[in-house]
Structure 1
Amino acid sequence: MTQQPDTLTESLSLALHYAANGWRVFPLLPGSKRPATPNHRAADCDRTDPWCRTGHAGWEQRATNRPDWITRAWSSNPAYGVGIACGPSRLVVVDLDTHKPGTEIPEPWHRFGITTGADVLDHLAGAHGGTITPTYTVRTVSGGTHLYYTAPDTTRRFTNTAGKIGWLIDTRAHGGYVAAPPTQIGSSSYDVTDDRPPAPLPMFLLDLLSRDQRPTPSTPNDDHNAPQRPSSRPYRPAGCGDPVHSTSAYVEAVIAAETAALNAAPDGGRNLALWVMATNVGKLINRGLITEHAALDRVLAAAAGHIAADAYDTYQAEATIRSGFHRAATKPTTSTRSAA
């Protein structure tokens, strides 16, 4: 575990060490997570700062892995902390927080007794058939965790997210930074708990971060005069006329994650998203974790908003769901969401 630097040599050495990894660093104000430069807002930039001669340059533009620039920056104040600009460093840092006492715990996590982002991520990994790859890990000053992953070598620019993956889970990429260990805030410091090199971003996280997050209707249509389409089976959400089916916490986590993915589906992609959800829920049927009848009700309930929005009717939705169940039964090892 690296100790908090208290001399110029140690502080500078740490900044240079991170830069040698290819990471772009910049100084943080002593005892703070705030960037030391620039000392003015973009709106107040008058171009007198040498960095801003061609336009305002923020901390991300100033982050560097050049030893000479790093030496000059930390020589001006040996007490500076170290910030890592995630995007330019080709990092995606997953920030796992902990539940704050007195704040609400949303479902389904309240039922599971889950109070940490680490446990939420573990459930999501299981729900999506993924693995939380061991990687460079840091304990934060708030008691949370930073998982450092390398961004995929694509043209896509990942940006910061807050809660997009799940409750208590944020990510830092382009436009975001993290305080590097052993930066100290008050009496606490960022500490390395796993010093292995950052692993590639796991595929299930790549999939979750790549999804379109545009909202779609999630409440029934109030237009009682809307034409009713025929259905081969009345639409009844689970619990409305049928006995409540007992399912495990794992099944609930899978259904919650798949429902969130379905609700995030964009126009034109809803039917495919429903089929993917049905295929993944169908895998639970194959394993005997839920009956087909209960699974059909749960997936139809998840599709209620899209049905109300006339994305498809109940008959079409049920046909799509049964097709997904069939796909899961005939090709149970296929990763349908990554294929889709």
Structure 2
Amino acid sequence: MNEALMRAALHAAERGWHVFPLRPNTKRPALHGENACPRTGPCASGHRKWEERATTDPDRIRAAWAHAPFNVGIATGPSGLLVVDLDVPKDNSSTVAPDGAATFEALCERTGQAVPRTRTVRTASGGHHLYFTAPAPVRLHNTAGTLAPLVDTRAWGGYVVAAGSTIDGTPYELEGPALLRPLPGWLKALLVPPHPANRPPVAAPGNGRRHPYVASALGKETAAVATAREGQRNATLLRAARALGRFVASGDLTRTEVEDALQGAGESAGLPAAECRATLRSALDWSITHNQTSTREAA
């Protein structure tokens, strides 16, 4: 077992992927933490975390894996990888909830793209890891559910369990062709917020024939989203969509007008496009339903 896992680690390193040991049969790093750091060897000048200690050096790999049947962790950032993690619902008894593969396929369909084919690893839980080379000029980080439910990404600050490793005896296995492809441009666009210098100016759509207070509300909420501070952006977008949803329910604004204005404002503020769409969809659905119900009850 040690030899098979050592070969898996060496094979990954040959591809330029930085590896580090995980505890046998688990996903947890086998390296010491900061509190237990001996301040020797790689940590002589200060504690180094797993991402910094991951290596492609075959001698270091052989020395590490000679001690135990460690699973293989691949530090995605230093390896130049972006891995899309298609997870499965944690409650395996539920056959109704879609898994990450289904929600990712739905995302591809909505954006008019084919499901990308690239190096794919089946995980021990039954999910899938789609490996892509990360775009060199961009430093991507991990995301959780930004693209779609049960769809995460691993880049800088993240790692994946390599093929050949096992969790509770169930292996991670390569599926299909091993060809590694670059991250598709449309996925990159969903993961990289627009640079401030390249953000388009946000202008609230107007209509001279509508009531002045409707246009004023649209302009006010759009500006609030566009200027929201980091950490408050999604909440501001949610509040704005709920506030404007009542005008959609009353027929003073179309849903498309509200979605276009707030989507542009959210992206201008730095929110990922997919996150904007998801927030707008749920907030407007709630607001329109709530306000239509209130109007019927008042009548």
What TM-score comes out, normalization by structure 1 length? 0.60
Distance in 2, Cα, partners of 1:86 & 1:28? 15
Q: Is the 8 A contact 1:132 1:202 kept in 2?
A: no
In the alignment, structure 2 segments of 5+ residues that lack a partner are 195-229, 288-299
Alpha-carbon distance in structure 1 between the residues aligned to 2:240 and 2:161: 45
Partner residue, 1:217: 237
Aligned counterpart, 2:3 = 9
Match of 2:122 among 116, 120, 139: 139
Q: TM-score, normalization: structure 2?
A: 0.67
| 2:82–2:155 Cα contact (<8 Å) kept | yes
Change over 3 Å in CA distance of 1:180–1:102 after alignment to 2: closer
CA contact (8 A) 1:130 1:202 kept: no
Structure 1 counterpart of 2:4, which letter?
A: E
Alpha-carbon shift at residue 261 of structure 1 (Å):
4.9
Q: Structure 1 pair 46/74, CA: closer, same or farther in 2 (3 Å)?
A: closer
Question: Secondary structure in 1 aligned to 2:237?
Answer: coil
- Which residue is 1:115 aligned to? 98
In 2: Cα distance, 1:17 partner to 1:46 partner: 29
Aligned pairs for 1:39-58 (under 5 A) are: 39-40=32-33, 42=34, 44=35, 48-58=39-49
Q: Deviations over 1:203-223 (max 9, x none)?
A: 111011013683233335999
- Residue 45 (structure 1) shift: 5.5
Matching residue of 2:132 = 149
Deviation at 1:265? Answer: 2.4
Relative to structure 1, the CA distance from residue 262 to residue 140 in structure 2 (aligned partners, 3 Å threshold; closer, same or farther) is: farther
Alpha-carbon deviation of 1:162?
0.6
Q: 2:81 aligns with which of 64, 78, 91?
A: 91
Q: What is the aligned partner in structure 2 of residue 63 from structure 1?
A: 54
* Equivalent residue, structure 2, for 1:201: 183
C-alpha distance in 1 between matches for 2:161 and 2:37: 28
Structure 1 residue 53: Cα displacement: 1.5
Q: Confirm or deny: 8 A CA contact 2:75 2:160 kept in the other structure.
A: yes
**Which residue of 1 is the match for residue 18 of structure 2?**
24
The question of whether the paired residues in 2 share the 8 Å contact of 1:95 and 1:147 is answered with: yes
Deviation at 1:103, TM superposition (A): 11
Distance 1:222 1:152 in 2: 36
Higher helix share: 2
RMSD of aligned C-alpha atoms?
3.8
Offset, 1:30: 0.8
CA deviations 1:92-122 (Å, max 9, x no partner) are 01001123339999xxxxxxx7611112111
Query: Structure 1 residues 23 and 259, CA, compared in 2 at 3 Å: closer, same or farther?
Result: farther
Aligned-pair CA distance for 1:260: 8.9
- Out of 120-129 and 80-89, give the one that drifted further: 120-129
* Residues 39, 46 of structure 2: 8 Å contact kept: no
Rounded Cα–Cα distance in structure 2 between residues aligned with 1:81 and 1:68: 17
Q: 1:97 to 1:161 in 2, by over 3 A?
A: same
The match for 1:80 is 70
Match of 2:174 in 1: 192
Q: Distance in 2 between matches of 1:202 and 1:184?
A: 30
Structure 1 residue 164, shift from structure 2 partner: 1.3
